[in-house]
Amino acid sequence: MDKSIENTIVRLHETQSTNNYANSQIRENEVPEGTVFLAYEQTAGRGQLNNFWESEAGKNLTFSLVFYPDFLEIRRQFMLSKVVTLGIYTALSKYVDQLRIKWPNDIYVGNQKLGGILIENSIMYGLLKSSVVGIGLNVNQTVFRSTAPNPVSLRILTNQHYDCDRVLTEVLTAINYYYLRLREGEDAKIDREFISVLYRLNEKHLFKAEDEVFSGEIIGVNEIGQLLVRKEDGKILNFHFKEVEFQITEEPED
Ligand code: BTN
For residue 232, what pLDDT band results from cuts at 50, 70 and 90? Answer: very high
Q: How far apart are CA 66 and CA 23, in angstroms?
A: 9
The alpha-carbon radius of gyration of the chain (Å, integer) is: 18
Q: For residues 227-249, give the mean pLDDT.
A: 88
Q: Is 118 in the pocket of ligand 1 (CB under 6 A)?
A: yes
Q: Is 41 in the pocket of ligand 1 (CB under 6 A)?
A: no
For residue 253, what pLDDT band results from cuts at 50, 70 and 90? Answer: very low
Distance in Å, CA 43 to ligand 1 centroid: 12
Q: Is 116 in the pocket of ligand 1 (CB under 6 A)?
A: yes
Q: Looking at domain 204-245, which of 2.30.30.100, 3.30.420.40, 2.60.40.10, 1.10.10.350 is its CATH number?
A: 2.30.30.100
Write the residue with the smallest CA distance to atom 11 of ligand 1. Answer: 134
Q: How far apart are CA 146 and CA 143, in angstroms?
A: 10
71-113 pLDDT tens trace? 999 999 999 999 999 999 999 999 999 999 999 999 999 999 9
Q: For residues 236-249, give the mean pLDDT.
A: 84
Q: For residues 147-172, give the mean pLDDT.
A: 96
Q: Is 64 in the pocket of ligand 1 (CB under 6 A)?
A: yes
Distance in Å, CA 18 to ligand 1 centroid: 8
The residues pairing with 238 across neighbouring beta strands, listed in sequence order, are 228
The percent of the chain in helix, strand and coil, each rounded to the nearest 5, is: 30, 35, 40
Residue-level pLDDT at 252: 45
Percentage, residues of the chain above pLDDT 70: 96
Q: Is 88 in the pocket of ligand 1 (CB under 6 A)?
A: no
Q: Assign a CATH topology to domain 9-196.
A: BirA Bifunctional Protein; domain 2 (3.30.930)
Q: How far apart are CA 56 and CA 61, in angstroms?
A: 10
Q: Is the pLDDT of residue 238 over 80?
A: yes
Distance in Å, CA 212 to ligand 1 centroid: 30
Residue-level pLDDT at 148: 79
Q: How far apart are CA 128 and CA 149, in angstroms?
A: 32
pTM, 2 dp:
0.94
- Average pLDDT over the chain reads 94
Which helix (H) or strand (E) is 211 found in, with range?
Answer: none
Residue-level pLDDT at 8: 97
Q: Is the pLDDT of residue 251 over 80?
A: no
Q: Is 45 in the pocket of ligand 1 (CB under 6 A)?
A: yes
Closest CA to 24 of 125, 135, 172, 132: 132
Q: Is the pLDDT of residue 174 over 60?
A: yes
Peptide bond into 32 cis (omega under 30): no
Q: Is the pLDDT of residue 1 over 60?
A: no
Domain assignments of the chain as residue spans, ordered by start? 9-196, 204-245
Q: Is 106 in the pocket of ligand 1 (CB under 6 A)?
A: yes
Cβ atoms of 133 and 77 within 8 Å: the answer is no
Number of Cβ atoms within 10 Å of the Cβ of 227: 20
**Amino acid (one-letter) located at 27:** R
Q: How far apart are CA 203 and CA 194, in angstroms?
A: 16
Q: Which long-range contacts (CB under 8 A, 24 or more apart) does 67-71 make?
A: 67/33, 67/34, 67/130, 67/131, 67/133, 67/179, 68/33, 68/128, 68/129, 68/130, 68/131, 69/127, 69/128, 69/131, 69/179, 69/182, 69/183, 70/124, 70/127, 70/128, 70/129, 71/127, 71/183
Residue-level pLDDT at 163: 98
Of 46, 84, 138, the residue with max ligand 1 atoms within 8 A of its CB, to mutate for a pocket test, comes to: 46
175-196 pLDDT tens trace? 999 999 999 999 999 999 999 9
Distance in Å, CA 42 to ligand 1 centroid: 10
Q: For residues 47-57, give the mean pLDDT.
A: 94
Q: How far apart are CA 69 and CA 129, in angstroms?
A: 6
Residue-level pLDDT at 249: 54
Q: Is 21 in the pocket of ligand 1 (CB under 6 A)?
A: no
Q: Is 136 in the pocket of ligand 1 (CB under 6 A)?
A: yes
Q: Is 46 in the pocket of ligand 1 (CB under 6 A)?
A: yes
Write the residue with the smallest CA distance to atom 16 of ligand 1. Answer: 134
Q: Is the pLDDT of residue 243 over 70?
A: yes
